């Protein structure tokens, strides 16, 4: 089936009891059993919930993996991935990831005896040099957030494979509509479902898709044993969001391409970062592994003072953290999403104090351009 057909139907057979076309919200904590050890496959809702299972099957199909697992947030999903590892294990990670992932690795997981090395994963030789006998995972985002650095999924998968490590890709920015890392060799894909998958900024959730049998089995155990599960209503909201993922992503992207082109001609901006711009250093590589550029753009207004002047001037773009919803958002990574990353780490990856990030929504393009034009006119 094609992507849109799968998005609407995969894992979502009509309800066997009533024929309801839409998967019901099974708002229950437990299930009646017919006798000792006799039940319909459902015992307790941390372990199994039909609404959650529908979401898990759906995302597994879209990401072309064998198993999907849903969690209460993107961070809960990433935490569960780190629980695949043990004290003494080593992870190589992108030096320009979502700030919360860096915070989790450094301030929650490292004290348990795991070690992390952060490298520019767009340089394969740096990744290769960072391997140790204890390296069990390579964890990347591509394009990264918000510097838009592109890493080679096929080559990183091959390298991780040859060293007996798992390649995990945070695919939140691209979604499976534009990029399917498992098809290129990755073992695990993780999402903040809060973002494009849900797409309507009305819940927080996470998803892992696995294509590695041993990891799948352990993750399923951890999902139940550690218990970072989502509620059924939130799963239903993501399922509902995914039905329109393809049309939303097309519109996010066509708006973003036009806005990036317009920003790149703006005289007062120092840099515009968007993988679809002709001068973007990772553009050709990105095009070889993804079918679109997405809806995220970053640009540099030069200083924190200028940023502070521009940010409150937008009316259609709301000043807020998060991304991937139908509405356009504007944010300042250095003080918002990436405040937990030390300044010298931020500057290494071009995450300067003047950098502004926008999540381009699906409103009318003219309104978005007018809004940005007005905001930037103060520069
Ligand atoms: C938001 C985000 C996360 C964290 O997800 P939550 O749902 O907020 O816990 C992880 N990775 C990326 C790329 C994100 O944008």
Whether 294 and 203 map to the same domain: the answer is no
Whether 86 and 198 map to the same domain: the answer is yes
Give yes or no: 98 in active site: yes
Query: Of 102, 142, 172, 336, which is best to mutate to test ligand 1, by the most ligand atoms within 8 angstroms of its C-beta?
Result: 172
Name the average pLDDT for the chain. Answer: 96
Whether 237 and 121 map to the same domain: the answer is yes
Whether 305 and 355 map to the same domain: the answer is yes
pLDDT of 16: 87
- Ligand 1, atom 8, residue with closest C-alpha: 74
Whether 280 and 365 map to the same domain: the answer is yes
Whether 158 and 298 map to the same domain: the answer is no
Å from CA of 102 to ligand 1 middle: 11
Last residue of a domain, one of 189, 222, 242: 242
The domain total for the chain is 2
Last residue of a domain, one of 242, 264, 294: 242
State whether the beta carbon of 100 lies less than 6 angstroms from ligand 1.
Answer: yes
Closest CA to 28 of 53, 56, 49: 49
Residue 78 Cα: closest atom of ligand 1: 10
Q: Is the omega angle on the peptide bond into residue 143 within 30 degrees of 0, that is, cis?
A: yes
Walk along the chain (379 residues) in steps of 10 and give the mean pLDDT of each run: 97 92 97 94 96 98 98 98 98 93 96 97 98 98 92 98 98 98 98 98 98 98 98 98 98 98 96 96 97 97 94 96 96 85 82 94 98 97
- SS3 letters across the chain: CCHHHHHHHCCCCCCCCCCCCCCCCCCCCECCCCECCECCCCCECCCCCHHHHHHHHHHHHHCCCCEEEEECCHHHHHHHHHCCCCCCCEEEEECCCCHHHHHHHHHHHHHHCCEEEEECCCCHHHHHHHCCCCEEEEEEECCCCCCCCCCCHHHHHHHHHHCCCEEEEECCCCHHHHCCHHHHCCCEEEEECCCCCCCCCCCCCEEEEECCHHHHHHHHHHHHHHCCCCCHHHHHHHHHHHCCHHHHHHHHHHHHHHHHHHHHCCCCCCEEECCCCCCCCCHHHHHHHCCCCCCEEEEECCCHHHHHHHHHHCCCCEECCCCCCCCCEEECCCCCCCCCCCHHHHHHCCCCCCEEEEECCCCCHHHHHHHHHHHHCCC
State whether the beta carbon of 325 lies less than 6 angstroms from ligand 1.
Answer: no
pLDDT of 337: 79
Whether 92 and 210 map to the same domain: the answer is yes
pLDDT of 290: 98
Last residue of a domain, one of 219, 242, 265: 242
* Domain with 170 in it: 3-242
Instruction: Select which of 6, 52, 89, 98 is catalytic.
Output: 98
Provide the whole-model pTM.
0.97
Å from CA of 16 to ligand 1 middle: 34
Whether 50 and 189 map to the same domain: the answer is yes
Whether 125 and 225 map to the same domain: the answer is yes
pLDDT of 147: 87
Whether 149 and 256 map to the same domain: the answer is no
**Percent with pLDDT over 70 in the chain:** 100
pLDDT of 291: 98
Whether 249 and 234 map to the same domain: the answer is no
pLDDT of 146: 84
Å from CA of 31 to ligand 1 middle: 32
CATH code, 83: 3.40.640.10
CATH code, 335: 3.90.1150.10
State whether the beta carbon of 98 lies less than 6 angstroms from ligand 1.
Answer: yes
pLDDT of 338: 81
Whether 182 and 313 map to the same domain: the answer is no
The answer to whether 264 touches 257, Cβ cutoff 8 Å, is no
């Amino acid at each position: 089936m094609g992507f849109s057909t799968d998005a609407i139907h995969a894992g979502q057979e009509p309800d066997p009891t009533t024929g309801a076309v839409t998967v019901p919200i099974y708002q229950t904590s437990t299930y009646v059993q017919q006798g000792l050890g006799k039940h319909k496959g459902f015992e307790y809702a941390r372990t199994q919930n039909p609404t959650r299972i529908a979401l898990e099957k759906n995302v597994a199909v879209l990401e072309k993996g064998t198993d999907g697992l849903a969690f209460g947030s993107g961070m809960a999903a990433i935490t569960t991935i780190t629980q695949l590892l043990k004290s003494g294990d080593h992870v190589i990670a992108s030096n320009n990831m979502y700030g919360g992932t860096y915070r989790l690795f450094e301030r929650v997981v490292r004290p348990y005896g795991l070690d992390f090395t952060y490298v520019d994963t767009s340089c394969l030789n740096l990744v290769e040099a960072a391997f140790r006998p204890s390296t069990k995972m390579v964890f990347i985002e591509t394009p990264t957030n918000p510097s838009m650095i592109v890493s080679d999924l096929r080559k990183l998968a091959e390298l991780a494979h040859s060293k007996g490590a798992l390649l995990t890709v945070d695919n939140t920015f691209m979604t499976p509509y534009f990029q399917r890392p498992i098809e290129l060799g990755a073992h695990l894909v993780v999402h903040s479902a809060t973002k494009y998958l849900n797409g309507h900024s009305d819940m927080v959730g996470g998803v892992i898709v696995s294509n590695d049998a041993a990891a799948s089995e352990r993750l399923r155990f951890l999902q139940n044993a550690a218990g970072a599960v989502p509620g059924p209503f939130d799963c239903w909201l993501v399922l509902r969001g995914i039905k329109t993922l393809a049309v939303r992503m097309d519109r996010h992207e066509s708006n973003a391409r036009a806005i990036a082109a317009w920003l790149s001609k703006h005289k007062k901006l120092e840099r515009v970062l968007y993988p679809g711009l002709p001068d973007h250093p990772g553009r050709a590589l990105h095009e070889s592994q993804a079918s679109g550029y997405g809806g995220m753009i970053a640009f540099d207004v030069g200083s924190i003072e200028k940023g502070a002047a521009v940010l409150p001037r937008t009316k259609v773009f709301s000043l807020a953290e998060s991304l991937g919803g139908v509405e356009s958002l504007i944010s300042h990574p250095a003080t918002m999403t990436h405040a937990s990353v030390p300044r010298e780490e931020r500057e290494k990856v071009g995450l300067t104090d003047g950098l502004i990030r926008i999540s381009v929504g699906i409103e009318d393009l003219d309104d978005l351009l007018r809004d940005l034009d007005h905001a930037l006119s103060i520069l």
